[in-house]
Amino acid sequence: MLSEEALERLSERLVNRIEELNTFMIKKLGNQIVDIGKLTPSQLREVLQSIKYGNNLDEIITKLSEITDKNVKDIYEIFEEVAKMSQEYARQFYEYRKINFIPFDENLVLQRQVSAIAKATAEQYQNMSKTFAFARLNENGERYFTDLSQTYQDVIDEAVLSISQGRESYNTVMKRTMQQLCDSGIRTVNYETGYSRRADSSVRMNIMDGVRRLNMELQTQFGEEFDADGIEVSHHKNPAPDHENTIDGKQFSTKGEVEIDGVKYQDFDTVNNNLVRHVGELNCYHFTYQIVLGVSEPLHSKEELEADKKANHDGFEFEGKHYTNYEGTQLQRQLETKIRQYKDKQIGAKSMNDMDEVYRCQEKIGQLTSKYNDLSKVSGLPTKIDRLRVEGYRKTSGNTRDYYEKSLIGISNNGYTISGISEHLLDRKTSRNVRIEDVKDAFTNPLKTGTIKTDEQGRKSLQYIGEKSTIAFNPETGTIISVWKTSTKRVQKLKGDK
């Protein structure tokens, strides 16, 4: 029988290619942004007419086509593998009924049927790939979508405009743009409703829906051939609450409620139709198999099902809260998604040479991965390391402190030299959205320098008010104590005072 683990294994290679496409886009845009950032306004005209601009668009289209072709090919292979597993399970009932069993490799009718369903799923995937897009925010903070080629063109146009018009800092504009792209990731979009979903999730659902359809049609056909009178629903540990007590791992009749050898069987359609989520719908991992009641021993005993149910509800304690095992798996999925998102952001930051953001992302990845490992260790739930992988992610050596110390220590101005960085600064600079260039500019080119003040504990501090940030500096130790954004009103006032 097809298990949840087997299905994920089959679909993961398709999902990995979508991740690869996402990384390809982020790197391509990041590298182009860096190139444009090196140009002067007078050189921008040449960029718009350059072959490189067009070549990048061609590469994006080629990459999308290449991945689509590979995934379509794999869909056919996956469906053939699923069909063989499904047919092999049905073999026992053909033998019980003394009906001729034709193996898949010799069964041309079955092969054509599987190929037709695979083709339909592949076509759905191809149509879905045509809706791949990134989510952006307009000036009013409203979300909108653009396809991959249009996204590339729009980002390059914005980069050129931000340099030529000089309305905002180029780095600020491009960092915000890259942040939006990484937060979004490649998505599938229904342009009529505005609904979108991450492309990797859409691909998983596309494969799962196709496999469910394949399994259902084949099992129905097999059941008719060997005169099935029942259905067994697959079992997996930690099912969702709405399926745990109703259908998970149970056998049902397809002929109304019956009793055979003292065992009562509920009618499957009656039970299934009373569920909010029918079996195999809305991200349900259960599958159904045609059986002969009284002949097919349940794959999972009542004792095993009850033990798994008890273990699920006993759950575990984590960070002061009780979770069922099912809730734990949902928390795992959330952490996996966050880790992948920060890996995307690190890739984008690295492509733009934004080392401040690279180290920030790596710190978040480390924190989230540690939490993920702690959760898995405490709960005993299996990890899904494949879901943490992002094509193209490579950790950069060093850390934020090393980077800040290397970049700032030794800089002098007005008789003072930076000799240290406080932990408070490192803690606050990210939450306050301050970059290392802002810190450096405030110290070396302040709009205003305050006077030395002494607190109740005798510690001295001196404020340097820069255009982007304000720093608190200890003139005795040479340590930057803290940093925060300089308000727009204060900048306007200080510039007006000059």
pLDDT at 202: 87
Q: How far apart are CA 187 and CA 196, in angstroms?
A: 6
**Alpha carbon distance 152, 160 (integer Å):** 12
pLDDT given for residue 372 in this prediction:
95
- The answer to whether residue 49 scores a pLDDT higher than 90 is no
Distance (Å, whole) CA 304 – CA 145: 48
Percentage of the chain modeled with pLDDT above 70: 93
| Whether pLDDT at 426 is above 90 | no
DSSP codes, 141-200: S-EEEEEHHHHHHHHHHHHHHHHHH-SS-HHHHHHHHHHHHHHH-SEEEETTTTEEEEHH
Q: Would you place residue 55 in the very low, low, confident or very high pLDDT band (cuts 50, 70, 90)?
A: low
State residue 174's pLDDT score. Answer: 84
Tell me the torsion sign for CA atoms 427, 429, 433, 435.
negative
User: What is the per-residue pLDDT for 494?
Assistant: 86
Place of tokens 């950032």: 37
Beta bridge partners of 416: 413
- Is the CB of residue 146 less than 8 Å from the CB of residue 134? yes
pLDDT on residue 430: 66
Does residue 408 carry a pLDDT above 60? Answer: yes
Helix (H, G, I), strand (E, B) or coil at 4: helix
Beta carbons within 8 Å of 311's beta carbon, 6+ residues apart: 237, 325
Top-confidence residue, 54 or 435: 435
Mean pLDDT of 200-222: 86
Bridge partners (DSSP) of residue 321 are: 318
Q: Is the distance from CB of 329 to CB of 238 less than 8 angstroms?
A: yes
Q: Kindly tell me if the per-residue pLDDT of 166 is higher than 70.
A: no
Q: What are the sequence ranges of the domains in the chain?
A: 4-227, 229-301, 321-388, 409-497
> For the segment 461-472, what is each residue's pLDDT rounded down to a tens digit?
999 999 889 999
For residue 218, how far is the Cα from the chain centroid? 33
CA distance 80 to 110: 10
Sequential DSSP letters for 87-116: HHHHHHHHHHHT-----GGG-HHHHHHHHH
- Overall average pLDDT of the 340-345 stretch: 90
pLDDT(46) > 80: no
pLDDT at 51 over 50: no
pLDDT at 287 over 50: yes
When comparing pLDDT for 331 and 385, which is higher? 331
Tens digits of residue pLDDT in 430-467 = 666 678 888 999 999 999 999 899 988 888 999 999 98
- The H or E element spanning position 215 is helix 199-225
Nearest one of 261, 206, 190, 199 to 230, comparing CA atoms = 261
Sheet of 195-198: strand order equals 143-147, 132-137, 187-190, 195-198
Distance in angstroms (rounded) separating the CA atoms of residues 142 and 194: 12
Single-letter amino acid code for the residue at 449 = T
Geometric angle at alpha carbon 471, from 468 and 475, rounded to 5° = 145
φ/ψ region of 290 (left if φ > 0, alpha if ψ in -120 to 50, else beta) reads: beta
DSSP state letters, 301-368: -HHHHHHHHHHHHH-EEETTEEE-HHHHHHHHHHHHHHHHHHHHHHHHHHHTT-HHHHHHHHHHHHHH
Q: How far apart are CA 47 and CA 64, in angstroms?
A: 24
Q: What is the crossing angle of helices 302-314 and 325-351, to 10°?
A: 60
- What's the chain's average pLDDT? 87
The residues, any chain, with a CB within 8 Å of residue 223's CB and separated by 6 or more, are 254, 290
Contacts of 492 (CB under 8 A, 6+ apart): none
The answer to whether residue 241 scores a pLDDT higher than 80 is yes
Of the candidates 270, 172, 285, 290, the residue with the CA atom closest to the CA atom of residue 225? 290
Query: What would the 3-class secondary structure string for 70-85 be?
Result: HHHHHHHHHHHHHHHH
Residue 249 has pLDDT above 70, yes or no: yes
- The predicted model gives 72-79 an average pLDDT of 91
* pLDDT for position 251: 94
Helices (H), 418-487: 423-431, 436-444
Query: Residue 461: helix, strand or coil by DSSP?
Result: strand
**pLDDT tens digits, one per residue of 80-127:** 988 998 898 899 899 999 999 999 999 999 999 999 999 999 999 999
Q: Give the pLDDT confidence of 114-165 residue by residue, as tens digits.
A: 999 999 999 999 999 999 999 988 888 888 999 988 888 888 888 877 776 6
191 burial via Cβ count (<10 Å: 0-12, 13-18, 19+): exposed
Q: What distance in Å separates the CA atoms of residue 165 and residue 44, rounded to the nearest whole number?
A: 12
| CA quadruple 131, 136, 140, 141: dihedral, nearest 10 | 110
Q: What one-character-per-residue DSSP string does 274-301 give? A: TSSS-TT-SS----EEEE-TTTS--SS-
